[in-house]
Structure 1
């Protein structure tokens, strides 16, 4: 069956066509369940990369991934869907932002894996490991208990959706982006009504808006953020799309509007440095650029999830939670509950 579908998507730039939803489900089933050979899977991924995936094709891969994933409504809050290939040049603001949001009463789901192509950057999983948390070795019960008590869920995606682990070697060998780079971010492990989703190119805004509508999120914010992530810039405006009730609109978020625009220092973003800066921000003693960036991202996400009536109100809320130590206290509790071994971390 995959051979016939390959003939449709791999006819070249002029001859290739998008698969309809039923055909896409067949292709996704063949690939996710490894019914296709590695050569066929690789050929399909490359053909789709050249053709560009349609909304129906991505949705089919999301649907099949969801069927093979452990998904439980531990907390119905905000899903932060950033790229699994990590960061190389920018701060992982979404990590400390998650604890600020949880301290404000908004449950957050984070998820990721070890680094992947094409970027091969520092991942959330790398940060956690430096913090003494080996997410791949942490039991599901332990992860869920930490989420229940703190409001922050971190999902090691290849453990909770095993086909992703099975397909890793093919993706590594190809060394390029595939349809899974998008689908894996939308598995929605905790059935979140709200989504913040990072994209690299603004040309995909409309397609991603239609996709999030089809996937029935209550409200989504698509962000052309740092390195294709869901994180807003602090040194310049960020292009975003707000999606709600089947309608979408462009929204430029300018940090200067809120008096937060700040130049970002040059940094060597190793996992250790990412963790140290994150912890400094949560302790209220970080560099102003990163403190402002976390507050802006948190305030916008609180507004998205209807926890505050305005970004300004969100900023006041977040500043208070940093100043009174609530965000740091929650992070410390979560870290202790998740930690599987003792490692050096940056609390000095």
Structure 2
């Protein structure tokens, strides 16, 4: 019986303590291409992902995975309209309202075309972007062509990962069976499928920031802003000090900080879109939510060179919020 071709990658990661090692970038690319092509058995897939999880993936491994997946993204989105901002949204919300969605609308109203992308629900008791957008009167695409139409109509579009790199959609659902996140969660956030000039990425754990940044540098990405967002989504917490790192114009970014604007805030505990509409329309006030929107928009404006520095970006974002079209939602 001939050994399966994928067995070598599992063996490399799972050998004894002294013999095991991380994959090279080329090995990681080849392994991911086999996974994307459906050439890996289920038992191998589970072992591979969990061995990486326990070992902790390296920037080289993540870069190799990106090499394989971005080819699929390029093919799927070859004729997609240009966007300015990449907005991965895979974490979902558990305690706070999804204020980041108002940030994307405010940016879209300034002509900043944004592609949001996310995966299937994979963690219990969380509410995901594709569930929330329709409640705001915004559309969720069921195809790449439809996303292009939504981008023209709304200034933003949400495209499920199954539409541009379908195998990753299934891999994200394996959390139900494995009980743990896998490197696929990190990979999906890093895709930037439409090759937007600026990508913003949020992480649950600050330790993953170096992984995201290291892989992006290896892949030649020039503008990437990383921060610990609320619940893992791209949303600045106004009640916490937020460090922003990443890559800015091809150089490593350090020392950018947004100070907290208010004391620690108790979350409502049940995220919903109705609260967002009421605040957007000015029917009710929410200090935490409005500042979350303003701070999040400020980071995007700065990253896109719409402001000279973060302080100016915050001022500009506050002006945009005050003058928003309240009939939009």
Match of 1:127 in 2: 132
Shift of 1:10: 1.3
1:1-348 equivalent positions in 2, closer than 5 A: 1-12=5-16, 14-69=18-73, 70-72=76-78, 73-82=80-89, 84-117=90-123, 121-131=126-136, 135=140, 138-168=142-172, 170-244=174-248, 245-255=250-260, 260-261=261-262, 263-270=264-271, 273=272, 275-284=273-282, 285-326=284-325, 328-329=326-327, 331-332=328-329
Shift of 1:250: 4.1
| Higher relative contact order (CA closer than 8 Å, sequence separation 6+) | 1
Contact map agreement 1:113 1:156 (CA 8 A) in 2 = yes
Shift of 1:263: 4.4
Shift of 1:166: 4.0
Q: What TM-score do you get using the length of structure 2 for normalisation?
A: 0.88
Can you give the 5+ residue segments of structure 1 that lack an aligned partner in the other structure?
333-348
Moved more, 286-295 or 234-243: 234-243
Query: CA 1:175–1:159 in structure 2 vs 1: closer, same or farther (change >3 Å)?
Result: farther
Query: CA 1:128–1:139 in structure 2 vs 1: closer, same or farther (change >3 Å)?
Result: same
Query: CA 1:134–1:38 in structure 2 vs 1: closer, same or farther (change >3 Å)?
Result: farther
3-state SS, counterpart of residue 186 of structure 2: helix
Moved more, 288-297 or 277-286: 277-286
Can you give the 5+ residue segments of structure 2 that lack an aligned partner in the other structure?
none
Q: What TM-score do you get using the length of structure 1 for normalisation?
A: 0.83
Moved more, 19-28 or 225-234: 225-234
Shift of 1:22: 1.3
